[in-house]
Amino acid sequence: MRSRLHKPACPSLDVPRLQTLVWPRSPAVQPGTPSTHLTVCINFDTRVLMKEITFLGSSLEAIKDFPADARLEAGYQLRQVQRSADPADWKPMGTVEQGVREIRICEASRAFRVIYLATLADRVLVLHAFQKKSQQTAQHAIELAAARLRAWRE
């Protein structure tokens, strides 16, 4: 007898449709091969565990104040971090603390930054978000991120 939690692999999708879903993304898998069906079923059935995001201070409000394109990009990049993947454009912020990183978002002539810590096992801490106005990250932004992290740890 089958368990209620058992879910058959790709029950409602037919193989030709699966091949078109996988083929553009996976050049190693040839259409019409048995492995194509298996690859897509794994993609559909695999759940990705995501870390919780905790926004410290006014970091969430700052992201909400970004222009629409920058806000969407920040959300997408934070989702990548939640999935334990690296964002597309980042750099380490060792001046704040070991493991702290900065997501770099460029939109037209403006630059935006999200400083976060993702080395914790269960969560991502967003320490600070801001529009960058000079070539170098402002010292007060670094100090604010460090202060928020210290306050959270206490």
The pLDDT tens digits along the chain (154 residues) read 444 444 444 444 444 443 434 444 445 555 555 444 444 445 555 566 789 999 999 999 999 999 999 999 999 999 999 999 999 999 999 899 999 999 999 988 799 999 999 999 899 999 999 999 888 888 999 999 999 999 999 8
Q: In whole angstroms, give the CA distance from residue 114 to residue 103.
A: 5
- The conformational region for residue 54 under phi > 0 = left, psi -120 to 50 = alpha, else beta, is beta
pTM of the model: 0.68
Residue 31: predicted pLDDT: 54
Backbone angles phi, psi at 105, to 5 degrees: -120, 120
Residue 48: predicted pLDDT: 62
What own/partner pairs with CB < 8 Å and gap ≥ 24 does 116-119 have?
Answer: 116/78, 116/81, 117/149, 118/51, 118/81, 118/84
